[in-house]
Chain A
Amino acid sequence: MNQRYLIPLTAVFLLFLLAYTGVEGLGLQVVFGVLIPYLAVAAFLIGFVIKVKGWAASAVPFRIPTTCGQQKSLPWIKQNTIDNPNTSAGVFVRMLLEIFAFRSLFRNTKAAFNRHASNRLSYSWEIFLWVGALAFHYAFLVVLLRHLRFFTAPVPGCIQLIEYLDGIVQVGLPGLFISGPVLLLAALFLLSRRVLDAKVSYISQAADYFPLFLIIGIAITGIAMRYFTKVDIIGIKELTMGLATFHPHIPEEVGGLFYGHLFLVSILFAYFPMSKLMHMGGIFLSPTRNMANNTRAKRHVNPWNYDVPIHTYEQYEDHFRDKMIEAGLPVDKKE
Protein backbone atom coordinates (compact mmCIF):
# COMPACT_ATOMS: atom_id res chain seq x y z
CA MET A 1 0.00 0.00 0.00
CA ASN A 2 1.20 3.36 -0.98
CA GLN A 3 -0.26 6.60 0.23
CA ARG A 4 0.58 8.31 -3.04
CA TYR A 5 -2.30 6.44 -4.63
CA LEU A 6 -4.46 5.83 -1.56
CA ILE A 7 -5.09 9.53 -1.02
CA PRO A 8 -6.21 10.26 -4.61
CA LEU A 9 -8.33 7.09 -4.60
CA THR A 10 -10.05 8.13 -1.38
CA ALA A 11 -10.47 11.66 -2.72
CA VAL A 12 -12.30 10.44 -5.82
CA PHE A 13 -14.54 8.19 -3.68
CA LEU A 14 -15.35 11.06 -1.35
CA LEU A 15 -16.05 13.45 -4.22
CA PHE A 16 -18.48 10.98 -5.71
CA LEU A 17 -20.16 10.41 -2.34
CA LEU A 18 -20.35 14.15 -1.79
CA ALA A 19 -22.43 14.63 -4.94
CA TYR A 20 -24.41 11.42 -4.39
CA THR A 21 -25.41 12.21 -0.82
CA GLY A 22 -25.79 15.91 -1.62
CA VAL A 23 -28.45 15.05 -4.18
CA GLU A 24 -30.06 12.01 -2.60
CA GLY A 25 -30.01 13.26 0.96
CA LEU A 26 -30.05 17.04 0.84
CA GLY A 27 -31.72 17.65 -2.53
CA LEU A 28 -28.90 19.85 -3.83
CA GLN A 29 -29.70 19.15 -7.50
CA VAL A 30 -29.30 22.82 -8.40
CA VAL A 31 -25.82 22.97 -6.88
CA PHE A 32 -24.47 19.78 -8.47
CA GLY A 33 -26.47 19.96 -11.68
CA VAL A 34 -26.26 23.64 -12.58
CA LEU A 35 -23.98 25.75 -10.42
CA ILE A 36 -20.89 23.51 -10.25
CA PRO A 37 -20.91 22.55 -13.96
CA TYR A 38 -21.01 26.23 -14.98
CA LEU A 39 -18.23 27.09 -12.52
CA ALA A 40 -16.18 24.14 -13.75
CA VAL A 41 -16.42 25.19 -17.42
CA ALA A 42 -15.49 28.76 -16.45
CA ALA A 43 -12.54 27.55 -14.37
CA PHE A 44 -11.44 25.29 -17.21
CA LEU A 45 -11.50 28.01 -19.85
CA ILE A 46 -10.01 30.79 -17.72
CA GLY A 47 -7.31 28.50 -16.34
CA PHE A 48 -6.48 27.14 -19.78
CA VAL A 49 -6.18 30.60 -21.32
CA ILE A 50 -4.03 31.91 -18.44
CA LYS A 51 -1.74 28.90 -18.68
CA VAL A 52 -1.26 29.11 -22.44
CA LYS A 53 -0.78 32.89 -22.34
CA GLY A 54 1.91 32.37 -19.73
CA TRP A 55 3.65 29.88 -21.95
CA ALA A 56 3.30 32.16 -24.97
CA ALA A 57 4.91 35.00 -23.04
CA SER A 58 7.96 32.99 -21.99
CA ALA A 59 11.01 33.35 -24.17
CA VAL A 60 12.34 30.52 -26.27
CA PRO A 61 15.81 31.89 -27.00
CA PHE A 62 17.39 28.78 -28.42
CA ARG A 63 16.63 26.38 -31.23
CA ILE A 64 16.37 23.16 -29.27
CA PRO A 65 14.63 20.61 -31.49
CA THR A 66 15.27 17.02 -30.49
CA THR A 67 17.01 15.50 -33.45
CA CYS A 68 15.91 11.95 -34.13
CA GLY A 69 17.48 11.41 -37.54
CA GLN A 70 20.04 12.70 -40.02
CA GLN A 71 20.00 16.47 -40.23
CA LYS A 72 20.20 18.39 -43.51
CA SER A 73 23.75 18.12 -44.68
CA LEU A 74 25.61 17.59 -47.95
CA PRO A 75 23.41 16.86 -50.96
CA TRP A 76 24.45 13.21 -51.15
CA ILE A 77 23.60 12.48 -47.50
CA LYS A 78 19.94 11.58 -47.14
CA GLN A 79 18.16 13.77 -44.64
CA ASN A 80 15.37 12.53 -42.37
CA THR A 81 12.94 15.35 -43.12
CA ILE A 82 10.37 14.40 -40.45
CA ASP A 83 12.52 13.43 -37.50
CA ASN A 84 15.03 16.20 -38.13
CA PRO A 85 13.13 18.81 -40.11
CA ASN A 86 14.77 21.98 -41.40
CA THR A 87 11.62 23.48 -42.95
CA SER A 88 8.24 24.45 -41.49
CA ALA A 89 6.59 21.83 -43.69
CA GLY A 90 8.74 19.16 -42.06
CA VAL A 91 7.94 20.55 -38.63
CA PHE A 92 4.22 20.49 -39.49
CA VAL A 93 4.35 16.81 -40.43
CA ARG A 94 6.40 16.08 -37.32
CA MET A 95 3.86 17.84 -35.08
CA LEU A 96 0.96 16.11 -36.84
CA LEU A 97 2.49 12.70 -36.18
CA GLU A 98 3.34 13.68 -32.61
CA ILE A 99 -0.17 14.89 -31.83
CA PHE A 100 -2.18 12.21 -33.64
CA ALA A 101 0.13 9.20 -33.37
CA PHE A 102 2.31 9.95 -30.29
CA ARG A 103 5.44 9.27 -32.34
CA SER A 104 7.90 10.05 -29.57
CA LEU A 105 6.12 7.64 -27.21
CA PHE A 106 6.39 4.99 -29.90
CA ARG A 107 10.16 5.06 -29.34
CA ASN A 108 9.73 4.30 -25.65
CA THR A 109 12.35 1.94 -24.26
CA LYS A 110 12.71 0.18 -20.97
CA ALA A 111 15.83 -0.58 -19.02
CA ALA A 112 16.18 -3.95 -17.35
CA PHE A 113 18.82 -6.44 -16.32
CA ASN A 114 18.76 -9.27 -18.79
CA ARG A 115 18.25 -12.80 -17.62
CA HIS A 116 21.46 -14.29 -18.91
CA ALA A 117 24.35 -15.06 -16.65
CA SER A 118 25.98 -11.79 -17.67
CA ASN A 119 23.11 -9.91 -15.97
CA ARG A 120 23.90 -6.81 -17.98
CA LEU A 121 21.68 -3.72 -18.07
CA SER A 122 20.00 -3.67 -21.44
CA TYR A 123 17.45 -1.46 -23.14
CA SER A 124 14.59 -2.84 -25.13
CA TRP A 125 11.72 -1.39 -27.11
CA GLU A 126 8.57 -1.14 -25.00
CA ILE A 127 5.49 -0.53 -27.12
CA PHE A 128 2.68 -1.13 -24.62
CA LEU A 129 2.69 2.34 -23.11
CA TRP A 130 2.20 3.69 -26.62
CA VAL A 131 -0.62 1.22 -27.35
CA GLY A 132 -2.32 1.97 -24.03
CA ALA A 133 -1.96 5.73 -24.45
CA LEU A 134 -3.31 5.64 -27.99
CA ALA A 135 -6.31 3.51 -26.96
CA PHE A 136 -6.96 5.74 -23.97
CA HIS A 137 -6.76 9.07 -25.79
CA TYR A 138 -8.81 8.06 -28.83
CA ALA A 139 -11.46 6.32 -26.72
CA PHE A 140 -11.72 9.44 -24.55
CA LEU A 141 -12.02 11.65 -27.63
CA VAL A 142 -14.83 9.49 -29.03
CA VAL A 143 -16.60 9.43 -25.66
CA LEU A 144 -16.32 13.22 -25.41
CA LEU A 145 -17.65 13.79 -28.94
CA ARG A 146 -20.45 11.27 -28.40
CA HIS A 147 -21.60 13.26 -25.38
CA LEU A 148 -22.34 16.21 -27.65
CA ARG A 149 -25.64 14.43 -28.33
CA PHE A 150 -26.72 15.74 -24.95
CA PHE A 151 -25.93 19.32 -25.90
CA THR A 152 -27.48 19.55 -29.36
CA ALA A 153 -31.06 19.01 -30.50
CA PRO A 154 -31.47 17.92 -33.23
CA VAL A 155 -28.16 16.06 -33.08
CA PRO A 156 -25.89 16.85 -36.09
CA GLY A 157 -25.18 14.07 -38.55
CA CYS A 158 -21.46 13.94 -37.77
CA ILE A 159 -22.16 13.04 -34.13
CA GLN A 160 -24.73 10.45 -35.18
CA LEU A 161 -22.09 8.99 -37.49
CA ILE A 162 -19.65 8.70 -34.59
CA GLU A 163 -22.35 6.97 -32.53
CA TYR A 164 -23.13 4.64 -35.41
CA LEU A 165 -19.48 3.65 -35.88
CA ASP A 166 -18.90 3.35 -32.13
CA GLY A 167 -21.92 1.08 -31.74
CA ILE A 168 -21.34 -0.94 -34.88
CA VAL A 169 -20.95 -4.25 -33.04
CA GLN A 170 -24.66 -4.14 -32.03
CA VAL A 171 -24.17 -6.06 -28.80
CA GLY A 172 -26.98 -5.91 -26.25
CA LEU A 173 -29.57 -3.23 -25.66
CA PRO A 174 -28.80 -0.41 -25.11
CA GLY A 175 -26.16 -1.13 -27.74
CA LEU A 176 -22.55 -1.35 -26.65
CA PHE A 177 -20.36 1.62 -27.52
CA ILE A 178 -16.85 0.19 -27.95
CA SER A 179 -15.19 3.40 -26.75
CA GLY A 180 -16.62 2.99 -23.22
CA PRO A 181 -14.96 -0.28 -22.21
CA VAL A 182 -11.82 0.61 -24.18
CA LEU A 183 -11.50 3.84 -22.20
CA LEU A 184 -11.98 2.04 -18.89
CA LEU A 185 -9.60 -0.82 -19.71
CA ALA A 186 -6.92 1.49 -21.10
CA ALA A 187 -7.12 3.73 -18.01
CA LEU A 188 -6.88 0.65 -15.79
CA PHE A 189 -3.85 -0.49 -17.76
CA LEU A 190 -2.15 2.88 -17.38
CA LEU A 191 -2.95 2.74 -13.66
CA SER A 192 -1.62 -0.80 -13.29
CA ARG A 193 1.66 0.30 -14.87
CA ARG A 194 2.05 2.96 -12.21
CA VAL A 195 1.12 0.59 -9.37
CA LEU A 196 2.83 -2.62 -10.42
CA ASP A 197 5.98 -1.52 -12.24
CA ALA A 198 8.44 -0.57 -9.50
CA LYS A 199 10.35 1.86 -11.71
CA VAL A 200 7.21 3.76 -12.72
CA SER A 201 5.71 3.52 -9.26
CA TYR A 202 8.85 5.14 -7.84
CA ILE A 203 8.35 8.31 -9.90
CA SER A 204 4.53 8.45 -9.58
CA GLN A 205 2.99 11.11 -7.40
CA ALA A 206 -0.53 11.80 -6.18
CA ALA A 207 -0.90 14.22 -9.10
CA ASP A 208 -0.33 11.28 -11.46
CA TYR A 209 -2.84 9.01 -9.77
CA PHE A 210 -5.62 11.55 -9.17
CA PRO A 211 -6.53 12.19 -12.85
CA LEU A 212 -6.38 8.45 -13.53
CA PHE A 213 -8.75 7.62 -10.67
CA LEU A 214 -10.97 10.52 -11.66
CA ILE A 215 -11.25 9.29 -15.25
CA ILE A 216 -11.76 5.71 -14.10
CA GLY A 217 -14.52 6.96 -11.79
CA ILE A 218 -16.13 8.88 -14.64
CA ALA A 219 -15.94 5.85 -16.92
CA ILE A 220 -17.38 3.50 -14.29
CA THR A 221 -20.30 5.78 -13.43
CA GLY A 222 -21.00 6.40 -17.12
CA ILE A 223 -20.92 2.71 -18.00
CA ALA A 224 -23.05 1.89 -14.94
CA MET A 225 -25.69 4.40 -16.05
CA ARG A 226 -25.82 3.19 -19.62
CA TYR A 227 -25.59 -0.57 -19.23
CA PHE A 228 -26.50 -1.48 -15.66
CA THR A 229 -28.67 0.73 -13.48
CA LYS A 230 -30.19 2.74 -16.38
CA VAL A 231 -31.40 6.31 -16.18
CA ASP A 232 -34.13 8.44 -17.73
CA ILE A 233 -32.13 9.72 -20.68
CA ILE A 234 -34.74 12.27 -21.82
CA GLY A 235 -34.72 13.81 -18.34
CA ILE A 236 -30.92 14.03 -18.43
CA LYS A 237 -30.96 15.59 -21.87
CA GLU A 238 -33.44 18.19 -20.62
CA LEU A 239 -30.93 19.07 -17.90
CA THR A 240 -27.93 19.25 -20.25
CA MET A 241 -29.85 21.18 -22.90
CA GLY A 242 -30.95 23.54 -20.14
CA LEU A 243 -27.26 24.12 -19.34
CA ALA A 244 -26.35 24.68 -22.99
CA THR A 245 -29.21 27.13 -23.60
CA PHE A 246 -28.90 28.90 -20.22
CA HIS A 247 -32.38 27.80 -19.13
CA PRO A 248 -31.45 25.45 -16.29
CA HIS A 249 -33.96 22.69 -15.73
CA ILE A 250 -33.83 20.01 -13.03
CA PRO A 251 -35.58 16.82 -14.09
CA GLU A 252 -37.40 14.66 -11.57
CA GLU A 253 -36.42 11.03 -11.11
CA VAL A 254 -32.78 11.45 -12.11
CA GLY A 255 -30.76 9.92 -9.30
CA GLY A 256 -27.52 10.52 -7.46
CA LEU A 257 -25.46 8.36 -9.80
CA PHE A 258 -25.92 10.86 -12.62
CA TYR A 259 -25.03 13.79 -10.39
CA GLY A 260 -21.99 11.86 -9.14
CA HIS A 261 -20.89 11.38 -12.75
CA LEU A 262 -21.51 15.03 -13.58
CA PHE A 263 -19.65 16.17 -10.46
CA LEU A 264 -16.59 14.06 -11.26
CA VAL A 265 -16.60 15.49 -14.80
CA SER A 266 -16.87 19.00 -13.35
CA ILE A 267 -13.93 18.28 -11.06
CA LEU A 268 -11.93 17.01 -14.04
CA PHE A 269 -12.68 20.20 -15.98
CA ALA A 270 -11.86 22.53 -13.09
CA TYR A 271 -8.71 20.57 -12.18
CA PHE A 272 -7.49 20.35 -15.77
CA PRO A 273 -5.64 23.67 -16.16
CA MET A 274 -3.59 23.22 -12.99
CA SER A 275 -2.58 19.66 -13.67
CA LYS A 276 -0.39 17.51 -15.88
CA LEU A 277 -3.43 17.20 -18.14
CA MET A 278 -2.41 20.56 -19.62
CA HIS A 279 -0.17 18.55 -21.94
CA MET A 280 -3.22 18.87 -24.20
CA GLY A 281 -2.25 22.48 -24.83
CA GLY A 282 1.42 22.02 -24.07
CA ILE A 283 2.12 19.50 -26.80
CA PHE A 284 1.62 22.24 -29.39
CA LEU A 285 4.16 24.43 -27.65
CA SER A 286 6.95 21.94 -26.97
CA PRO A 287 10.06 23.62 -28.36
CA THR A 288 11.86 20.33 -28.80
CA ARG A 289 9.25 19.37 -31.42
CA ASN A 290 7.88 22.54 -32.99
CA MET A 291 11.13 24.11 -34.16
CA ALA A 292 13.00 23.51 -37.37
CA ASN A 293 16.60 22.39 -37.03
CA ASN A 294 18.12 25.11 -39.24
CA THR A 295 20.71 26.63 -36.92
CA ARG A 296 23.45 26.11 -39.51
CA ALA A 297 21.50 27.67 -42.36
CA LYS A 298 20.01 30.61 -40.50
CA ARG A 299 21.30 32.96 -37.83
CA HIS A 300 19.03 33.09 -34.82
CA VAL A 301 19.63 36.11 -32.62
CA ASN A 302 18.72 35.91 -28.98
CA PRO A 303 15.55 38.04 -28.80
CA TRP A 304 16.48 39.68 -25.54
CA ASN A 305 20.01 40.72 -26.54
CA TYR A 306 20.33 44.34 -25.49
CA ASP A 307 22.76 47.00 -26.74
CA VAL A 308 26.13 46.45 -25.12
CA PRO A 309 28.69 49.26 -25.64
CA ILE A 310 31.30 47.55 -27.77
CA HIS A 311 34.86 48.48 -28.55
CA THR A 312 35.78 47.41 -32.09
CA TYR A 313 39.28 46.70 -33.29
CA GLU A 314 39.28 49.92 -35.34
CA GLN A 315 38.54 51.93 -32.19
CA TYR A 316 41.22 49.96 -30.31
CA GLU A 317 43.79 50.66 -32.98
CA ASP A 318 42.85 54.36 -33.10
CA HIS A 319 43.39 54.41 -29.38
CA PHE A 320 46.77 52.71 -29.24
CA ARG A 321 48.18 53.34 -32.76
CA ASP A 322 51.18 55.38 -31.67
CA LYS A 323 52.17 52.91 -29.00
CA MET A 324 51.67 49.96 -31.36
CA ILE A 325 53.87 51.52 -34.04
CA GLU A 326 56.45 52.36 -31.39
CA ALA A 327 56.49 48.75 -30.21
CA GLY A 328 56.74 47.51 -33.80
CA LEU A 329 53.28 45.85 -33.88
CA PRO A 330 51.50 45.58 -37.27
CA VAL A 331 48.65 48.10 -37.73
CA ASP A 332 45.90 48.33 -40.37
CA LYS A 333 46.15 52.08 -40.85
CA LYS A 334 49.57 53.68 -40.70
CA GLU A 335 48.29 57.20 -40.00
Chain B
Amino acid sequence: MSKNTIMAGLAVFVLAVLSPFWFNLITTTQAAPKPELLGKAATAKKCVLDKYNMRAEHMYLLDVWRNSVVRLGDRKYTGTNGQTFNMSLSTGENSCLGCHEDKAKFCDSCHNYASVSPYCWDCHTNPKEIK
Protein backbone atom coordinates (compact mmCIF):
# COMPACT_ATOMS: atom_id res chain seq x y z
CA MET B 1 0.00 0.00 0.00
CA SER B 2 1.23 3.46 -0.78
CA LYS B 3 2.53 5.63 2.01
CA ASN B 4 -0.11 8.29 1.41
CA THR B 5 -2.95 5.82 1.78
CA ILE B 6 -1.47 4.53 5.04
CA MET B 7 -1.06 8.05 6.43
CA ALA B 8 -4.61 8.98 5.42
CA GLY B 9 -5.94 5.88 7.15
CA LEU B 10 -3.86 6.63 10.21
CA ALA B 11 -5.20 10.19 10.34
CA VAL B 12 -8.79 8.93 10.15
CA PHE B 13 -8.06 6.47 12.96
CA VAL B 14 -6.52 9.13 15.21
CA LEU B 15 -9.52 11.40 14.61
CA ALA B 16 -11.88 8.54 15.45
CA VAL B 17 -10.05 7.77 18.69
CA LEU B 18 -10.13 11.43 19.68
CA SER B 19 -13.82 11.76 18.75
CA PRO B 20 -15.06 12.06 22.38
CA PHE B 21 -12.85 15.12 22.75
CA TRP B 22 -13.62 17.01 19.55
CA PHE B 23 -17.27 15.99 19.49
CA ASN B 24 -17.78 17.75 22.81
CA LEU B 25 -15.91 20.77 21.52
CA ILE B 26 -18.09 21.27 18.44
CA THR B 27 -21.42 20.45 20.10
CA THR B 28 -23.01 21.98 23.17
CA THR B 29 -22.62 19.63 26.07
CA GLN B 30 -25.52 19.02 28.38
CA ALA B 31 -24.65 19.42 32.05
CA ALA B 32 -25.32 16.62 34.53
CA PRO B 33 -28.79 16.92 36.06
CA LYS B 34 -28.90 18.04 39.66
CA PRO B 35 -31.39 15.88 41.55
CA GLU B 36 -33.91 17.93 43.50
CA LEU B 37 -36.84 16.92 45.67
CA LEU B 38 -40.07 18.62 44.70
CA GLY B 39 -43.62 18.71 46.04
CA LYS B 40 -44.53 16.10 48.57
CA ALA B 41 -41.15 14.38 48.34
CA ALA B 42 -39.41 17.50 49.63
CA THR B 43 -41.29 17.37 52.92
CA ALA B 44 -41.78 13.61 53.33
CA LYS B 45 -38.09 12.86 53.98
CA LYS B 46 -38.62 9.13 53.75
CA CYS B 47 -37.98 6.87 50.82
CA VAL B 48 -37.75 3.15 50.26
CA LEU B 49 -33.94 3.17 50.22
CA ASP B 50 -31.32 5.69 51.19
CA LYS B 51 -30.03 8.17 48.63
CA TYR B 52 -27.07 6.32 47.04
CA ASN B 53 -28.73 2.92 47.16
CA MET B 54 -31.72 4.47 45.48
CA ARG B 55 -29.57 5.90 42.68
CA ALA B 56 -27.84 2.59 42.03
CA GLU B 57 -30.52 0.02 42.82
CA HIS B 58 -33.91 1.55 41.96
CA MET B 59 -34.27 -0.32 38.70
CA TYR B 60 -33.54 -3.62 40.36
CA LEU B 61 -36.02 -2.79 43.15
CA LEU B 62 -38.71 -1.98 40.58
CA ASP B 63 -38.08 -5.30 38.86
CA VAL B 64 -38.42 -7.14 42.19
CA TRP B 65 -41.61 -5.21 42.92
CA ARG B 66 -43.08 -6.06 39.55
CA ASN B 67 -42.51 -9.77 40.13
CA SER B 68 -43.80 -9.52 43.67
CA VAL B 69 -47.01 -7.76 42.61
CA VAL B 70 -47.70 -9.62 39.38
CA ARG B 71 -46.62 -13.12 40.39
CA LEU B 72 -47.20 -13.21 44.16
CA GLY B 73 -49.84 -10.53 44.74
CA ASP B 74 -47.73 -9.06 47.53
CA ARG B 75 -48.01 -5.27 47.42
CA LYS B 76 -46.37 -4.23 50.68
CA TYR B 77 -42.71 -3.23 50.91
CA THR B 78 -40.95 -2.28 54.11
CA GLY B 79 -38.14 0.16 53.47
CA THR B 80 -34.79 0.40 55.22
CA ASN B 81 -36.23 3.04 57.54
CA GLY B 82 -39.03 0.74 58.74
CA GLN B 83 -41.76 2.53 56.81
CA THR B 84 -44.17 0.47 54.74
CA PHE B 85 -44.85 1.44 51.16
CA ASN B 86 -47.27 0.39 48.49
CA MET B 87 -45.37 -1.34 45.70
CA SER B 88 -46.47 0.79 42.83
CA LEU B 89 -44.81 2.98 40.29
CA SER B 90 -47.66 5.28 39.45
CA THR B 91 -50.90 4.38 41.24
CA GLY B 92 -52.03 6.15 44.41
CA GLU B 93 -50.60 8.58 46.93
CA ASN B 94 -48.12 6.08 48.34
CA SER B 95 -46.46 5.15 45.02
CA CYS B 96 -43.23 6.43 43.51
CA LEU B 97 -44.89 9.07 41.35
CA GLY B 98 -47.52 9.72 44.01
CA CYS B 99 -44.78 11.33 46.07
CA HIS B 100 -42.28 12.40 43.42
CA GLU B 101 -44.85 14.22 41.37
CA ASP B 102 -42.75 15.50 38.50
CA LYS B 103 -41.83 12.60 36.20
CA ALA B 104 -39.74 14.84 33.94
CA LYS B 105 -37.51 15.84 36.85
CA PHE B 106 -37.69 12.62 38.87
CA CYS B 107 -37.23 10.06 36.09
CA ASP B 108 -36.47 11.58 32.75
CA SER B 109 -33.69 14.07 33.48
CA CYS B 110 -31.20 11.40 34.63
CA HIS B 111 -32.42 8.73 32.20
CA ASN B 112 -31.96 11.10 29.27
CA TYR B 113 -28.54 12.15 30.50
CA ALA B 114 -27.37 8.55 30.85
CA SER B 115 -29.12 7.49 27.62
CA VAL B 116 -31.36 4.99 29.36
CA SER B 117 -34.80 4.37 27.92
CA PRO B 118 -36.62 2.08 30.33
CA TYR B 119 -39.76 0.41 29.07
CA CYS B 120 -41.77 1.26 32.23
CA TRP B 121 -43.89 3.70 30.28
CA ASP B 122 -44.85 1.19 27.63
CA CYS B 123 -47.49 0.02 30.14
CA HIS B 124 -47.61 2.62 32.92
CA THR B 125 -48.82 6.18 32.50
CA ASN B 126 -47.74 9.28 34.25
CA PRO B 127 -50.66 10.11 36.63
CA LYS B 128 -50.32 13.75 35.64
CA GLU B 129 -51.12 12.93 32.05
CA ILE B 130 -54.41 11.10 32.71
CA LYS B 131 -56.48 14.21 33.46
Contacts and interface: CB of A to CB of B under 8 A. Distances in A.
Interface in B4-20: 6-7, 9-10, 13-14, 17-20
B35 to A, nearest CB: 8
Contacts of A104: none
B55 A172 contact: no
Taking residues whose C-beta sits less than 8 angstroms from the other chain, chain B's interface range is 35 or more
Dominant secondary structure of chain B at its interface with chain A: helix
A241 to B, nearest CB: 7
Contacts of A152: 20, 23-24, 27
Dominant secondary structure of chain A at its interface with chain B: helix
B121 interface: no
B69 interface: no
Given A152-B20, A160-B115, A173-B59, A234 B110 contact: yes
Interface stretch (A67-75, A184-192, A225-233): A225-233
A134 interface: no
Contacts, number: 98
Interface in B35-56: 52, 55-56
A244 B13 CA distance: 18
A149 B118 CA distance: 15
Contacts of B20: 148, 151-152, 243-244
A56 B4 CA distance: 9
A66 to B, nearest CB: 16
Interface in A144-193: 148-149, 151-155, 159-160, 163-164, 170, 172-175
A259 B54 CA distance: 21
A56 B3 contact: yes
B114 A234 contact: yes
B59 A174 contact: yes
A44 interface: yes
Contact of A234 (B29, B55, B63, B118): B55
Contacts of B21: 244, 246
A253 interface: yes
B30 A234 contact: no
Contacts of A151: 20, 23-24
Interface string A290-329: 1000000000000000000000000000000000000000
Interface of B: 1, 3, 6-7, 9-10, 13-14, 17-21, 23-24, 27, 29-33, 52, 55-57, 59-60, 62-63, 110, 112-119
Interface of A: 41, 44-45, 48-49, 52-53, 55-57, 148-149, 151-155, 159-160, 163-164, 170, 172-175, 230-235, 237-238, 241, 243-246, 253, 281, 284-285, 290
